Amino acid sequence: MRAYLYDNLDTDCREPHEQNPSVPVSVEELEASGVLYWRLKDENFEDQIDKICADRNYKNRDQITVSKQGLGELFDAKIKTFFAEHLHEDEEIRAILEGTGYFDIRDKQDRWVRIKVEAGDLIVLPAGIYHRFTLDSNNYLKAMRLFKEDPVWTPLNRPCDEYPYRKAYLNVIEAN
Ligand code: KMT
Ligand code: NI
């Protein structure tokens, strides 16, 4: 995982979009926005996930392969939905199993922070944070999705500042 400020250029979102010079964003800064991160080691991969699930009460899981082959005829529509700025009522928890991709989140100052993820990264985006996802030029990412009960991943596109999940998120973040 590596995080940095997005350059806001209007080119292909699969490009790195890193500023020059780069402006890195630390794990601590991500935490201030409510984003959690774990690096999973290759050995006992499942055990580490099981522990995080037990600690955080994630009871269920499934897998998604974000690729042309994995999503079939839904690919173009899904990719578009993922990259529209949105939030969810629930946390978005992803353990990256294979491949690479970018989660972009809005920081406290409403700037885009790009988080490059790869196999072995586990990331939690809190409920109510504005974010988006894109593949990079490798066009392939396989992830485990973790969730507490039934997942509510319906994307609520910005603006949805009046939703209780958004307000609750801002209240938590303000305290950080
Ligand atoms: C979402 O809601 O933003 C996603 O599920 C992103 C794709 S999962 C790698
Ligand atoms: Ni999302």
Q: Output the CA torsion 99→117→139→61 (10° steps).
A: 70
Amino acid at 76: D
What DSSP line would sit under 79-97, residue for residue?
Answer: HHHHHS-EE-SS-EEEEEE
Specify the pLDDT at position 152: 73
Helical H runs in 67-139? 68-71, 75-83
Closest protein CA for atom 4 of ligand 1: 82
**Stretches in the chain below the pLDDT threshold 70:** none
Per-residue CA distances from 76 to 72, 97, 137, 174 (Å): 9, 22, 15, 37
Q: Is residue 175 part of a domain?
A: no
Q: What pLDDT, in 10s, does the model give residues 12-21? A: 999 999 999 9
Per-residue CA distances from 47 to 6, 79, 102, 119, 120 (Å): 34, 31, 25, 16, 13
Specify the pLDDT at position 126: 97
Q: What is the ipTM of this complex?
A: 0.95
- Which CATH number does the domain housing residue 59 bear? 2.60.120.10
* Overall number of domains in the chain: 1
Spatial CB neighbours of 166, under 8 Å, sequence gap ≥ 6: 87, 128, 160
Helix, strand or coil, per DSSP, at residue 146: strand
Q: With 0-12 CB in 10 A as exposed, 13-18 as middle and 19+ as buried, what is 150?
A: exposed
Q: Is residue 46 part of a domain?
A: yes
Range of the domain at 118: 2-170
Neighbours of ion ligand 2 (CB under 5 A): 92
Q: Is residue 81 part of a domain?
A: yes
Ligand 1 pocket mutation, candidates 1, 62, 94, 156, criterion most atoms within 8 A of CB = 94
Q: Is residue 176 part of a domain?
A: no
Pocket flag, ligand 1, residue 153 (CB < 6 Å): yes
Q: Is residue 122 part of a domain?
A: yes
Q: Is 88 annotated as a binding residue?
A: yes
Q: Is residue 140 part of a domain?
A: yes
Q: Which of 68, 100, 103 is nearest to 88 (CA)?
A: 103
Q: Is residue 160 part of a domain?
A: yes
Specify the pLDDT at position 149: 85
